[in-house]
Amino acid sequence: MRDLYNESEHAGHALAEMARLVGQALSQATEALLETDLRLAETVISGDRAIDALYREMDVQAPGSLAEQQPVASDLRALLTSLRMSADLERMGDLARHIATVARMRFPDCAVPDELRDTFAQMGEIGVQLSNRLARIIETRDVTAANTLDAQDDTVDRLHRGVFAALLSAEDKYPMQTAIDVTLLSRYYERFADHAVSVAHRVENLGTGEPWDDQP
């Protein structure tokens, strides 16, 4: 398989670091949401800047450092893949921030009704696991774990559909604000998992030159 990190070990470190940071952000955002922790919500919101900075740094530095090496097509493809990965990870940070923003907006109330707490706790936990697995996949280039990520993504999709089913079966029970918040929150968790899987498959496909079709 094409070795991205020989070209740019720095890029590999930055991507793994981003994966860990977005996992931490999602963990804190979920706690902020379910425990109505305003300070933690604000930590996630302001902390997203560090993730954005890593993304921008890769965009600015990678082309320059590669140009010094008279790159061939496979180098360029590896560059492109690493930058597609950084875009996914940056977006995962945004989604964690969106969750924290909803938590902050509803404080001191909890945006999530009691009956759905477990579902959101699970979606959060799986998202964090996905991020940490991803960091290891990026570092070790061992993509055997990618299948596990697919299975976990399926679980998040199932939980996401379960949120809608719960809203629909509780007709008139929840206020409209709760319906809106919960719909968007569930979508954020679902997209977070999608992007995680997308990054894992990009690592997997680094060797083939085939781009991963990432957009469900």
3-state helix, strand, coil split of the chain in percent (to 5) is: 85, 0, 15
Return the number of the residue (140 or 208) whose C-beta is nearest a copy of itself: 208
Q: How far is the CB of 59 from a copy of itself (least distance, A)?
A: 4
**Rounded Cα gap, residues 76 and 50, in angstroms:** 26
**Chain position carrying tokens 């809106």:** 180
> What is the contact surface with a copy of itself in residues (CB under 8 A)?
52, 55-56, 59-60, 62-64, 66-67, 70-77, 79-80, 83-84, 87, 90-91, 94, 164, 167-168, 170-172, 174-177, 179-180, 183-184, 187, 209-211, 213, 215-216
Return the number of the residue (37 or 99) whose C-beta is nearest a copy of itself: 99
CA dihedral over 164, 104, 192, 136, signed as positive or negative = negative
Q: How far is the CB of 148 from a copy of itself (least distance, A)?
A: 25
Cis peptide before 71 (omega within 30 of 0): no
**Rounded Cα gap, residues 40 and 132, in angstroms:** 20
Q: How far is the CB of 57 from a copy of itself (least distance, A)?
A: 9
Q: How far is the CB of 133 from a copy of itself (least distance, A)?
A: 23
Nearest to 214 by CA among 4, 55, 205: 205
Return the number of the residue (77 or 133) whose C-beta is nearest a copy of itself: 77
Neighbours of 136 (CB within 10 A): 14
**Rounded Cα gap, residues 193 and 39, in angstroms:** 25
Q: How far is the CB of 200 from a copy of itself (least distance, A)?
A: 17
Return the number of the residue (28 or 186) whose C-beta is nearest a copy of itself: 186
Contact by Cβ (8 Å): 191, 95: yes
**Rounded Cα gap, residues 141 and 4, in angstroms:** 9
Return the number of the residue (121 or 170) whose C-beta is nearest a copy of itself: 170
Return the number of the residue (75 or 157) whose C-beta is nearest a copy of itself: 75
Q: How far is the CB of 39 from a copy of itself (least distance, A)?
A: 23
